[in-house]
Structure 1
């Protein structure tokens, strides 16, 4: 039997930390549940990104600036990148919502330590959506990088959380919010003031669920839980739902509808979307050169076709094809709208559309 890859132990430690974080968060007897969740998810993310770097041959050790260069060491061991440095390497863009969510919790962990023992429940209430996004983002990164067989869904049971259905319950939640220390309340406000509306409203930064409880007679033709899409409601219905959302919250186990390729584009439509938006001739050859130069996906026939940049491309195993994201299309449109950017993205000189008969 071949020896397991070096990164496997680090990856398994990451998953163990994530499972422990969720277990502590869900334990009603745990007096510091939210703080424990933050600490263990911090470790889960750190180990996950280190496993990726180890697998991909990225040197994530700190080096002295002296000549000849030497490794920085702590207690005789090489000093490795902390989570903040690792996140910047994985998501270079400062506007990425996954990075924004992670950096919020990094800053929060540095503030928490043991100074806010009485704020745990208030923090959990205030940042529950951010915490849910932190876990969902972790699951996405874990499965996209290491395969669906690593999914936390194989190890976790997701419980039902009920916030409030009564006026008394609503008032209790509001009292909890007011118990949040002023410096922590200001910390969240100050942090989000530096983010764009696009990032703040992105579910990868803060995950929001809303449920309406309907007490009705048993109907043999109906299911126990009904799902209604928010964008299918009328304006009056949307306003009513928004108002109800201020009075309490329910986080429930989500029923995922399996939709293959949702929000993804095949190569031809992706190429055509770029071609319509840029002032230069852009064809399939340019598109291929762009993903090759950006290393968006492996070449055809690669032994490991799953090694894509998940922000830009995904491999579809049943069809053996690659599907591209809207983010990749937007990236190409932005780059290829100028002569310099076009050549950087494709390696070719741009040809204005008007020059071709």
Structure 2
């Protein structure tokens, strides 16, 4: 039996922290539920990113400035990157996922030991959409990095609750939001004002849903809660949804899965992005060999073109072609960034790019 990867205990610890965060958030008897959610999700993201860096051989330890060849230590152990540094490394460009995590990092510093008891319900009422996006982003990153076997879907359930299902419940939640301390309201307003409209309105930054009771006969093959993306609706459906007002969640039944264009890339874009990250020449032929080797989609002419590895590729039924995810780009770069990795993956020597002065690029062997 092969030895487990050295980063696997980090993944297990990360998943445990995320499950605990969700349990605390959904526990009505927990006096400090929201604070617990923030703290434990902070640890879940930290352990997850440390696992990613360990797998990818990225040194995430701090080195002393006065003695660059010696590590900084805390209680005899090497000091490792905090979450803010990890997030900046994983998402070097500002995007909704990074902005969401950085919001909760800043919020943790605000609420810890300060607003723990008197503002928990108000925080949950005001920041529920941000918290839900925080957890969903974690799940997507976890599965994209380490595969579907790590999903939390088998551990977490859609909670049973009352919330804004009744008019009195909605009124109470609105009053709770208004009861936030002035310092917290100022912090939230200032943070959001520093973000672009594109990020603020992205579901990965804050999830906003409406709930609709499905008035159809029971389907034994359907899940009790299923989602339909707004962009997948017809114009009439969008119009109906927009008239529902500003409360709760929209949950509509999704008839087909995995046939979307959102944030997907065409093959030539994948080739360009991978090539830009490598010191070697990477072209369309390499791209084709890569998806064949990794089996991210069926071969040309397959009777079931939709049977893709959804982490990396999705089939577009309308256009009869495929779109590839950012995770596929990251995976190829991880495999091919060194000459050794290239040889192991393709079974051939890489061809180095040439710089403007005619010298060839550098890569670790």
| TM superposition score category, shorter chain reference | 0.7 to 0.9
Q: Which ranges in structure 1 are unaligned for 5 or more consecutive residues?
A: 272-286, 308-312, 330-345, 350-357
In structure 2, C-alpha distance between the alignment counterparts of 1:168 and 1:109, rounded to whole Å: 30
Aligned counterpart in structure 2 of residue 240 of structure 1, from 236, 240, 243: 243
Query: Measured at CA, do residues 119 and 348 of structure 1 come closer, stay the same or move farther in structure 2, by a change above 3 Å?
Result: same
Q: Which ranges in structure 2 are unaligned for 5 or more consecutive residues?
A: 297-309, 316-320, 330-352, 357-365
Query: Measured at CA, do residues 326 and 69 of structure 1 come closer, stay the same or move farther in structure 2, by a change above 3 Å?
Result: closer
Aligned match of 2:61: 61
Aligned match of 1:249: 248
1:170 CA drift (Å):
2.7
Aligned match of 1:75: 75
Query: Measured at CA, do residues 292 and 229 of structure 1 come closer, stay the same or move farther in structure 2, by a change above 3 Å?
Result: closer
Query: Measured at CA, do residues 189 and 5 of structure 1 come closer, stay the same or move farther in structure 2, by a change above 3 Å?
Result: same
TM-score by length of 2: 0.71
User: Is 1:294 aligned to residue 291 of structure 2?
Assistant: no
Aligned match of 1:2: 2
In structure 1, C-alpha distance between the alignment counterparts of 2:217 and 2:291, rounded to whole Å: 53
Aligned match of 2:51: 51
Query: Measured at CA, do residues 133 and 317 of structure 1 come closer, stay the same or move farther in structure 2, by a change above 3 Å?
Result: closer
In structure 2, C-alpha distance between the alignment counterparts of 1:158 and 1:42, rounded to whole Å: 22
Does the CA contact (< 8 Å) of 2:212 and 2:251 recur in 1?
A: no
Does the CA contact (< 8 Å) of 2:199 and 2:205 recur in 1?
A: yes
3-state SS of the aligned residue for 2:36? Answer: helix
Aligned match of 1:40: 40
In structure 1, C-alpha distance between the alignment counterparts of 2:208 and 2:68, rounded to whole Å: 51
Aligned match of 2:129: 129
1:65 CA drift (Å):
1.2
1:313-324 equivalent positions in 2, closer than 5 A: 315-316=312-313, 323-324=323-324
1:209 CA drift (Å):
1.0
Aligned length: 302
Aligned match of 2:109: 110
Query: Measured at CA, do residues 254 and 46 of structure 1 come closer, stay the same or move farther in structure 2, by a change above 3 Å?
Result: farther
Taking only aligned residues, the RMSD between alpha carbons, in angstroms, comes to: 3.9
Query: Measured at CA, do residues 63 and 251 of structure 1 come closer, stay the same or move farther in structure 2, by a change above 3 Å?
Result: farther
In structure 1, C-alpha distance between the alignment counterparts of 2:10 and 2:46, rounded to whole Å: 10
Does the CA contact (< 8 Å) of 2:227 and 2:253 recur in 1?
A: no
In structure 2, C-alpha distance between the alignment counterparts of 1:290 and 1:228, rounded to whole Å: 30
Aligned match of 1:337: none
1:63-212 equivalent positions in 2, closer than 5 A: 63-94=63-94, 96-116=95-115, 117-212=117-212
Does the CA contact (< 8 Å) of 1:162 and 1:250 recur in 2?
A: no
Does the CA contact (< 8 Å) of 2:227 and 2:251 recur in 1?
A: no
In structure 1, C-alpha distance between the alignment counterparts of 2:14 and 2:158, rounded to whole Å: 19
